[in-house]
Chain A
């Protein structure tokens, strides 16, 4: 009796595992490789729109990439450089203006619900004045690219050597939501570091590419 029960449990687990495998076969990766990770963000910020359509340079927001190991997430205040004037998609604003003209009224204020989250974070209301009922609280973005704790990657030498952001991060300007483009595994790093200097440094600022362990591990 007991034996039979064990066999049942074993079979159930086996079936469950093979089902799981079958479902995820297309995306099977080794542990630690999160290629393709594309988490939803608290604000539906579109890189396609900003970096692609509007051609905002990557370093305008991620200025740390040039002077720090971290590229950094821009502070909310930086968004306000544009979004204190731009509060909704242009098409919507135009549609409202047209409707208002037709209805002979003043156009109503349109604030995109996503941008409202930004204003709330800064403690502002729709008219961008301080809202005393709201405590400013920074936006908690989801981290997309994450290296293990024993690896130290530094953006500085890469941007300095003229490596394009897309070389590692992929076509961000085409991504609605940012996705981990590369595997970010050590082999992937070394493919470049072992490659020709020209491949490593398309900008030509290349001086010395090392494959010393202690370059990244310390």
Chain B
């Protein structure tokens, strides 16, 4: 069998060995000409004398002057220097994952998942992890604004109350525009606020709209609801352009469920099968077992054919009408239908298309398969998306016609994240009273007459009901940093009865949530235990969903995109299909002012600090495009956008893909995100923003917001825009000069198919050969720390990358430095492509310091700044390091990072997010993953203090803790009962570059795909 060849970029696809013309390592910052560093004897003596004098003087000083401020009265549970964890709910998106907030000395520092939480099960995504940095954002509003000027709350309240009284007297109309609200109290408060007006209405929307999914359930089941999806119960999953592991609705919940179905447990080993149809390379598609690349319209056609096939088998009457031709081989599609049919009741068909007909076909397929109430729950529906695009459309019409007297925007930014932002801007300008609750100046609040800034979620009390029957709370973990006020309190103030948010929430719970409790106890008991746990499960009123109505499936109405003239040649310069998508981490752009998320490489493209237009390699060569060529995309609506081109393997030839959520107000400040030096280029050019806002291109004509636009023409502008990508360096491949034969490659990722795995659990793996060592073996008498990463479980979601950044004070370096190979991430996720049957396979491999027993870095350090510990850790001692960088050059895993500049600056508010348990590194020292040694020490000391031995699983590095799919296991290899010891004996276990005899402490488990004849593996080495 021929080895599958993996490559990380298109240049590696041609030549598997690292580009030898390119330097392997980052180059030191050049000394600019004219900057004379030659030293005369005279100036050397001057400098030496000055230094000596300085040393002498400093040793005569009277010691440091520092203050210790003790509290006046210390709450019993607070001990200085000890972290306290508070249960809360992540407010990063509407998914409502459970979060524990780490507080040290009254300062929230880190968010982690609640392991017992029924949705997130301990995971927390990159967005949630990064939200703590948003708390310490110095661009947050410190006071309310009136006409753009800071004012007092009293003045603001008085003016708003006067205006509202006038509106209610004349019977005017008031609208509240909000993103999905899962808070029961806030929803009730808004309703009672709006009842005061003759014409008051709440309009809920989602920038990443799922309106069609809700509408489809309205017409098919008579209930406008989002079914709760149970991926853990699905044996066969068919995804149609739904990025459910990355950005769609509730990715942590879905990833945890997806992983639960892929544990390879049982005999024979069971694993779900995932078939995915999509036009661009999404994170979810990259994880699929079978990935079919089709244009958006063809994906919808394939779904229709599949659904009707299944309906026929189930005997459901469904009008088929005139369907477009089946875009893939009918036999192959029938094969997929066979698989789904065989898994009736435990399969799942999902589509992310915001198109009614597609969603109806998905509902039809799931009904035919009997999946409702098994893998899709309508009796306990999800509230994570509630947006109604129809209502949004009428609101825009009303506003434009000047029929609305007052508009309140709550957690909403229509002027930036919705289609036709220009129309929204005009509508906002024409509305007499616009009040925004935004915490910082965004595109909408800049146009609002008043801004009543809401608290940051970490400063406020809040409640949530993300899915029916699960309520959760959020508690303030810090005093508000500015003079902000919760929206709940503002609303109560404007109804003339200002009350604190906590009282409002408790009152609502006493009347509406407490009666639905499970178990006995007083309200106080219920409330206290819910706040303590962060969530509570309550009873759900009987389901209102009716039976499936096949009549809802009408002959497929031509989707809006299909109305465009169909081109014969899909890759011609015009007539491309545009796929607008959300990037993992940035989502709809609400956190585009968070530098951690901006510098988080896209899980697939690995590009930072930019959005771009992705083309398939074929399309790019037909259009004559190279990476970084600026192209102009023109939609039939007349909207256009200029973006750099990115060439993406595995993308549909007739599709161009652009990420939403960029080009936002407030990102201008990242001009100085990186270090300033002679040749440094700013992350954003003066006056520019990070990326371009593609909301302009969204289509919104009558139906739901359409993210797939047909008939887009592309033209080259001739300009260039460099993209910074982290996968163009740090190659683990064999340099050509070291290869023993031409074309020799190293075997870094390993994979196999489920059939092979069932026959032989070590399929795709290769035995390690024993090596003669030049060094004596280390003896580990106590603990020996090790880690195992399951490549089958890792989805590449990058939650671990942000968790590591947050835990270990990893600096942000800016776009230019990343492009110069000087990114600082201690943990990166290497993404490998491989060609297979005309398709593209993807493997994600988290790569970090491997804590080698025979560490090559240790032997070359001239000052012993990197040493081996008695517990198997490769230690990096910052205060000893003199910055020779020999260690980094000798590291085969490219896991070491050098501080080329002083990245962390004094006096920034965001410094409050620094972890006090980890040194802030200075310029000129090397750093790398420590296995979160601060957590190891903390757990050891606590165990010692309590007089008990360490327990397995007690120490979890930040990356392992955050992982939604539990792909990373850490523990004591010397403890024979530990999980890590068991995994090390797993036939799938292997170590990367074991042939170098560096004896890494990190191991990987072979990826197993649910398909036969995987073509992976390295049986021949």
Note whether A and B form a binding pair.
Answer: yes
Measured in the bound complex, the distance between the Cα atoms of B867 and A141 in whole Å is 38
- Asked if B56 and A207 make an inter-chain contact with CB atoms under 8 angstroms apart, the answer reads no
Measured in the bound complex, the distance between the Cα atoms of B71 and A70 in whole Å is 14
A134 CB → nearest B CB, Å: 12
B743 at the interface (CB under 8 A from A): no
B862 at the interface (CB under 8 A from A): no
Given contacts A139-B69, A149-B919, A154-B941, contact A64 B869 (CB under 8 A): no
28 pairs, A vs B, C-beta closer than 8 Å: A24-B60, A27-B60, A29-B59, A34-B64, A37-B63, A64-B81, A66-B945, A67-B82, A68-B80, A68-B82, A69-B81, A75-B70, A75-B71, A76-B72, A78-B74, A138-B72, A141-B68, A141-B69, A141-B70, A143-B64, A146-B66, A148-B879, A152-B917, A160-B941, A212-B875, A213-B867, A214-B930, A218-B930
Measured in the bound complex, the distance between the Cα atoms of B782 and A210 in whole Å is 11
| Beyond A214-B873, A218-B933, 5 additional pairs, beta carbon < 8 A | A17-B53, A21-B56, A73-B80, A139-B70, A212-B875
B777 CB → nearest A CB, Å: 18
A109 at the interface (CB under 8 A from B): no
B79 at the interface (CB under 8 A from A): yes
B39 at the interface (CB under 8 A from A): no
Contact of A212 among B63, B65, B870 (CB under 8 A): B870
Q: Which residues of B contact A213 (CB under 8 A)?
A: 867, 869, 875, 877, 880
- Asked if A17 and B56 make an inter-chain contact with CB atoms under 8 angstroms apart, the answer reads yes
Measured in the bound complex, the distance between the Cα atoms of B933 and A122 in whole Å is 40
A52 at the interface (CB under 8 A from B): no
Measured in the bound complex, the distance between the Cα atoms of B105 and A72 in whole Å is 12
Closest A residue by C-beta to B53: A17
Measured in the bound complex, the distance between the Cα atoms of B917 and A59 in whole Å is 24
B563 at the interface (CB under 8 A from A): no
Q: Which residues of A contact B62 (CB under 8 A)?
A: 37, 39
Given contacts A67-B945, A68-B81, contact A136 B72 (CB under 8 A): yes
The total of chain A residues at the interface (CB under 8 A) is 55
Measured in the bound complex, the distance between the Cα atoms of B81 and A134 in whole Å is 30
Q: Which residues of B contact A215 (CB under 8 A)?
A: 937
- Asked if B879 and A150 make an inter-chain contact with CB atoms under 8 angstroms apart, the answer reads yes
**A 27-62 contacts with B by CB, 8 A:** 27-31, 34, 37, 39
B309 at the interface (CB under 8 A from A): no
Mask: chain A, 161-172; 1 = CB below 8 Å from B; 0 = not: 000000000000
Measured in the bound complex, the distance between the Cα atoms of B865 and A77 in whole Å is 45
Measured in the bound complex, the distance between the Cα atoms of B53 and A77 in whole Å is 47
**B 30-64 contacts with A by CB, 8 A:** 53, 55-60, 62-64
- Asked if A67 and B79 make an inter-chain contact with CB atoms under 8 angstroms apart, the answer reads yes
A74 at the interface (CB under 8 A from B): yes
The total of chain B residues at the interface (CB under 8 A) is 47
A140 at the interface (CB under 8 A from B): yes
**B 519-541 contacts with A by CB, 8 A:** none
Q: Which residues of B contact A28 (CB under 8 A)?
A: 59-60
- Asked if A73 and B930 make an inter-chain contact with CB atoms under 8 angstroms apart, the answer reads no
- Asked if A20 and B60 make an inter-chain contact with CB atoms under 8 angstroms apart, the answer reads yes
Measured in the bound complex, the distance between the Cα atoms of B877 and A29 in whole Å is 24
Measured in the bound complex, the distance between the Cα atoms of B678 and A176 in whole Å is 55
B934 at the interface (CB under 8 A from A): yes
- Asked if A142 and B65 make an inter-chain contact with CB atoms under 8 angstroms apart, the answer reads yes
B871 at the interface (CB under 8 A from A): yes
- Asked if A64 and B80 make an inter-chain contact with CB atoms under 8 angstroms apart, the answer reads yes
A157 at the interface (CB under 8 A from B): yes
- Asked if A138 and B877 make an inter-chain contact with CB atoms under 8 angstroms apart, the answer reads no
Q: Which residues of B contact A88 (CB under 8 A)?
A: none
**A 66-98 contacts with B by CB, 8 A:** 66-70, 72-78
Q: Which residues of B contact A31 (CB under 8 A)?
A: 55, 58-59
Measured in the bound complex, the distance between the Cα atoms of B66 and A157 in whole Å is 25
- Asked if B871 and A212 make an inter-chain contact with CB atoms under 8 angstroms apart, the answer reads yes
- Asked if A75 and B72 make an inter-chain contact with CB atoms under 8 angstroms apart, the answer reads yes
- Asked if B81 and A143 make an inter-chain contact with CB atoms under 8 angstroms apart, the answer reads no
A44 CB → nearest B CB, Å: 16
Q: Which residues of A contact B69 (CB under 8 A)?
A: 138-141
A66 CB → nearest B CB, Å: 7
- Asked if B63 and A39 make an inter-chain contact with CB atoms under 8 angstroms apart, the answer reads yes
- Asked if B941 and A157 make an inter-chain contact with CB atoms under 8 angstroms apart, the answer reads yes
Q: Which residues of A contact B918 (CB under 8 A)?
A: 218
Measured in the bound complex, the distance between the Cα atoms of B64 and A17 in whole Å is 22
Report, nearest first, the 8 A-B pairs whose CB atoms are least far apart. Answer: A37-B63, A70-B81, A34-B63, A73-B70, A143-B66, A77-B73, A75-B74, A214-B875
Q: Which residues of B contact A5 (CB under 8 A)?
A: none
A106 at the interface (CB under 8 A from B): no
Mask: chain B, 923-940; 1 = CB below 8 Å from A; 0 = not: 000000010011001000
B901 at the interface (CB under 8 A from A): no
B878 at the interface (CB under 8 A from A): yes
A104 at the interface (CB under 8 A from B): no
A21 CB → nearest B CB, Å: 7
- Asked if B879 and A217 make an inter-chain contact with CB atoms under 8 angstroms apart, the answer reads yes
- Asked if A140 and B71 make an inter-chain contact with CB atoms under 8 angstroms apart, the answer reads no
Q: Which residues of B contact A143 (CB under 8 A)?
A: 64, 66-68
Closest A residue by C-beta to B49: A13
- Of B57, B70, B880, most buried by chain A (CB within 10 Å of CB) is B70
A118 CB → nearest B CB, Å: 10
Q: Which residues of A contact B934 (CB under 8 A)?
A: 152, 218
Measured in the bound complex, the distance between the Cα atoms of B945 and A154 in whole Å is 12
B944 at the interface (CB under 8 A from A): yes
B490 CB → nearest A CB, Å: 28
Mask: chain B, 64-96; 1 = CB below 8 Å from A; 0 = not: 111111111110000111100000000000000
B547 CB → nearest A CB, Å: 60
Given contacts A29-B59, A77-B73, A217-B879, contact A72 B65 (CB under 8 A): no
B920 at the interface (CB under 8 A from A): yes
Mask: chain A, 121-146; 1 = CB below 8 Å from B; 0 = not: 11000000000000010111111001
- Asked if B72 and A122 make an inter-chain contact with CB atoms under 8 angstroms apart, the answer reads yes
Closest B residue by C-beta to A28: B59
Measured in the bound complex, the distance between the Cα atoms of B81 and A66 in whole Å is 12
Mask: chain B, 857-888; 1 = CB below 8 Å from A; 0 = not: 00000000001011101010111100000000
